[in-house]
Amino acid sequence: MAEDAKPRRLYQVWKGSNRFFCGGRLIFGPDVASVLLSILLIAGPAIAFCIRAHSKMEDHSYALPALIGGFILAVMDLIFLFVTSARDPGIVPRNSKPPESDDTFDATTPSMEWVNGRTPHMKLPRTKDVIVNGVPVKVKYCDPCLLFRPPRASHCSICNNCVQRFDHHCPWVGQCIGIRNYRFFFMFISTSTVLCIYVFAFSWIDLLQLKRAKNSIWKAMSNDYLSDFLIIYCFVAVWFVGGLTVFHSYLISTNQTTYENFRYRYDKKENPYNKGVMGNLREVFFSKIPPSMNNFRAFVEVEEEDAVGVVTPNFGEGIMSSNEKIDIEMGMKLTEDGGFTLPEILRNLEYDDSDDDLKNSEEDGGHFDSIFPVEQDMKEPTGTTILGDQVTCSGQKAREPVYSSSALEDDNIATEKKDDMSGSNQTAAP
């Protein structure tokens, strides 16, 4: 069956949350639908502005240049949005097995957590130090990807991938922002800012031109609702995209990512990646973009599906340590050989101590309320013979039957009643 399995492409067995199109050539995040909303928010006002500029071409000489400029900016903005959303942001390939530890860690280090869930038979540190430009930097072990993340990489919980130089996951582009698309993301938000300012400015020019004919700005605004809408829309949008542009300009000049800025605060300690303003600008805009580490169109065997996906811990097949672990919530007991349910555990418990306590209590004259007679432990009986008050088991000496205390009390009461009745009968006889 395995030999006849048809090979499939990597994107078809990829266990991340990404969405693939065009045979794995385009990769989006799981929230790819948000890209359509972003396209609508950009293309809608841009088309309205171009229609408005085209209608004024006969009356105003600036209308044609405004139309051409607005069209170019809108197309560039949409292209940057598409390139940012549809490319691999720098996904780090998963490992099929945990990495082998180069060093032996026998001593317990207070500042170190050990990875036990997926590597029960070996010790791996949760973090380890690597040297970046002479500065020690901690890198973390990623449980889903079974690897130590490269410096500046982080695992995106939305896309379920480790991404190189992870900046953030942008819901407006439906994709992670990493080393391979950060440049295009910045171009997208900066072009959006320029487009908002451009449309805002020419919409005001239209109103001012109409004011000359109406002799009042209020009358001009009441007769040009499209310009009013574009002014308000662009005024609101520019605060959003403009603020992002300014913030990321600061991050680029200091060679930080959004994740690092909020998490590590390099202003309080040395940034090992800072190369100066010009060096940082050169690295972001003029350096070569590294190729993708994944060939999503490559053929893989179906049996290798787990090797490229998320490896989840299997606690039932030799993954547990020698110590038994009980999952209280599931009500299951798991061992190295297999699982046993809790009722079976109760049936397998030893009651030797309980039997000893019971015998000791009987010898002390204690009473146990029971409706069942106490059974004797006969390990190898082959037959039972009852001779009067003697009970004889083949292979064993005869033993007297043992009854519970409540049964003996009932027999005593019945005997006393018989004696009373016989005595009364004798007294009544003449």
**Distance (Å, whole) CA 108 – CA 114:** 9
Residue scoring higher pLDDT (104 or 54)? 54
State the catalytic residue, choosing from 170, 176, 196, 234. 170
Asked if 170 is an active-site residue, the reply is: yes
Q: Which two tokens stand for residue 288?
A: 């070569």
**Phi-psi bin for 130: left (phi > 0), alpha (psi -120 to 50), beta?**
beta
Task: Specify the pairing of strand 91-92 against strand 19-21.
Answer: unpaired
What is the reported pLDDT for 334? 38
The angle at the Cα of 158, spanning 16 to 151, to the nearest 5 degrees, equals 80
pLDDT in tens, 382-394: 444 444 444 444 4
pLDDT in tens, 222-254: 888 899 999 999 999 999 999 999 999 999 999
| 363 burial type by CB count under 10 A (0-12 exposed, 13-18 middle, 19+ buried) | exposed
Of the chain, the end-to-end C-alpha distance in Å amounts to: 102
Q: Provide the Cα torsion 159, 161, 166, 167; round to 10°.
A: 10
Instruction: Give the single-character DSSP code of 310.
Output: -
What residue type is assigned to position 177 of the chain?
I
48-52, 117-121, 227-231, 390-394: the lowest-pLDDT one: 390-394
pLDDT in tens, 56-87: 888 888 889 999 999 999 999 999 999 999 99
Most confident of 109-118, 220-229, 349-358: 220-229
Give 236's contacts (C-beta < 8 A, 6+ positions apart): none
